């Protein structure tokens, strides 16, 4: 009897996913991959499975990744010191060589390999490839004064043609967060790179994986999780957010202001968090929507938009 109930529960879950499968079928979903989900072996496996599930479910997933812990570890092995200003890594030409090598040559290949254990899907590319990302130099402000960060930039232009071509071929693009510039190769924040790419691809959703359950209204007490808020509400909250959450929530804000219907911050430590958010009625984490909020009933959206 217990096995029969388990089977019925599974069937109920599948039926609950039906309207969401219909809504997002054929839509692009950009996933920023980072945090413990990127370093814990079991979570890495689950992440790859989830991405492939999205592909088989008819969505078009794109992965954008950084690799701060891996970069730190490699710099330590080389005896190189890395400093930070305003929460951003000061990137000298020597440091940039390591950043580029780790992100493009190691982390990207690892993610591609994990996904391709399930089929010939993932193709690794760099933000430099085909001028996907072009960056402009940025500075950090510390104690009211600008600090030179070296080869650190903001994404100023996105040419998503190479990503669209891979998606149209049924592939899963895996993008490392480095960018070209007139001054050489720049390190760019993976959160903001993912948001810029989501906007340029007219994505249906941006998902940012991190190491917290979402945005809390009462940080650092972390007792009241905000499940949903508008772009205007988020913008008003930004000055009060913790340093670590600012780039993630700014990425969500940029995405929805740029036309992406929904942006989510999810706890990557929760197995299958992406699937729970996309394919269940309750969802998890924090979702950001634009001011002109679309209907929440997926059936209404399907009928109204013809998706």
50 annotated as ligand-binding: no
Instruction: Kindly give the pairing relationship between strand 60-65 and strand 172-176.
Output: parallel
Contact 260, 204 (CB under 8 A): yes
Radius of gyration of the chain (CA): 19
285 annotated as ligand-binding: no
Would you call the peptide bond into 220 cis, given omega within 30 degrees of 0 as the criterion? Answer: yes
67 annotated as ligand-binding: yes
Cβ–Cβ contacts within 10 Å for residue 84, how many?
11
Instruction: Kindly give the pairing relationship between strand 205-210 and strand 88-89.
Output: unpaired
66 annotated as ligand-binding: no
Cβ–Cβ contacts within 10 Å for residue 87, how many?
12
Q: What is the dihedral of CA 90, 93, 96, 98, to 10 degrees?
A: -120
Task: Round to whole Å and give the CA distance between 121 and 217.
Answer: 39
Distances (CA, A) of 167 to 78, 171, 286, 295: 38, 5, 27, 28
Reading the block at residue 62, the tokens are 């794109």
- Feature table: binding site for substrate: 67-68, 89, 187
- Feature table: binding site: 67-68, 89, 187
């Amino acid at each position: 009897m217990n096995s029969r109930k388990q089977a019925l529960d599974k069937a109920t879950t599948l039926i609950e996913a039906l309207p969401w499968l219909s809504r997002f079928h054929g839509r692009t979903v950009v996933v920023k991959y980072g945090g413990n989900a990127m370093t814990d072996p079991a979570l890495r496996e689950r992440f790859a499975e989830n991405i492939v599930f999205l592909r088989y479910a008819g969505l078009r997933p794109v992965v954008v990744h950084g690799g701060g812990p891996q970069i730190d570890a490699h710099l330590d092995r080389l005896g190189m010191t890395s400093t930070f200003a305003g929460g951003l890594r000061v990137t000298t030409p020597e440091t940039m060589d390591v950043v580029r090598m780790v992100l493009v040559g190691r982390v990207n290949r690892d993610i591609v390999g994990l996904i391709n254990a399930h089929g010939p899907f993932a193709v690794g590319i760099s933000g430099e490839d085909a001028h996907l990302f072009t960056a402009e130099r940025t500075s950090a402000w510390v104690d009211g004064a600008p600090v030179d960060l070296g080869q650190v930039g903001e994404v100023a232009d996105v040419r998503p043609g190479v990503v669209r071509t891979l998606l149209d071929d049924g592939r899963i693009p895996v993008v490392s967060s480095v960018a070209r510039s007139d001054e050489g190769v720049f390190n760019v924040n993976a959160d903001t790179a993912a948001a810029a790419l989501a906007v340029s691809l007219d994505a249906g959703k941006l998902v940012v994986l991190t190491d917290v359950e979402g945005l809390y209204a009462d940080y650092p007490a972390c007792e009241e999780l905000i499940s949903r808020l508008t772009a205007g509400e988020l913008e008003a909250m930004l000055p009060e957010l913790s340093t670590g959450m600012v780039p993630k929530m700014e990425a969500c804000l940029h995405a929805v202001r740029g036309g992406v219907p929904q942006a989510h911050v999810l706890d990557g430590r929760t197995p299958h968090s992406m699937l729970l958010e996309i394919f269940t009625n309750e969802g998890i984490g924090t979702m950001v929507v634009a001011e002109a909020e679309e209907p929440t009933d997926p059936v209404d959206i399907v009928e109204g938009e013809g998706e």
